[in-house]
Amino acid sequence: MIIIMLGAQGTGKGTVAGLISKEMNWPQISTGDIFRKNISEKTELGIEANKYISKGNLVPDEITVPMVKNRLEQEDAKDGAILDGFPRTIEQAEKLDEILAENGRKVNLVINLITPHEEIIERMITRRVCTNPDCKTIYNTKLNPTKVEGICDKCGFPVKQREDDSDPEAIRKRLDIYEEKTSPLVEYYKNKGVLRPEEISLSINRMGKEVAIDVIKDLKK
Which amino acid belongs to residue 31? Answer: T
Rounded Cα–Cα distance for residues 29 and 25 (Å): 12
Amino acid letter for position 9: Q
Q: How confident is the model at residue 148 (pLDDT cuts 50, 70, 90)?
A: very high
Domain boundaries, the chain: 2-116+167-219
For Cα atoms 146, 31, 203, give the angle at the middle one, nearest 5 degrees.
50
Strands 159-160 and 127-130: antiparallel
Residue 77 is predicted with a pLDDT of: 93
pLDDT digits (tens, 9 = 90+) for 26-70: 999 988 777 887 788 888 878 888 898 888 787 888 888 887 888
Asked if the model's pLDDT at residue 166 lies above 90, the reply is no
CA distance 114 to 79: 28
pLDDT in tens, 126-147: 999 999 988 888 899 988 899 9
Output the pLDDT for position 38.
77
Class of domain 2-116+167-219: alpha beta
3-state secondary structure 113-129: EECCHHHHHHHHHCEEE
Buried b (16+ CB within 10 A) or exposed e, 8-32: bbbbbbbbbbbbbbeebebbbbbbb
Residue 106 banded pLDDT, cuts 50, 70, 90: very high
The predicted model scores a pTM of 0.78
How confident is the prediction for the chain on average, in pLDDT? 91
- Give the model's pLDDT for residue 66: 81
- Structure confidence at residue 7 (pLDDT): 92
- What's the pLDDT score for residue 119? 92
pLDDT value, residue 15: 86
Predicted local distance difference test score (pLDDT) of residue 187: 94
Alpha carbon 161 to its chain centroid, in Å, reads 16
pLDDT of residue 161: 94
Which residues have a catalytic role annotated? 13, 88, 127, 162, 174
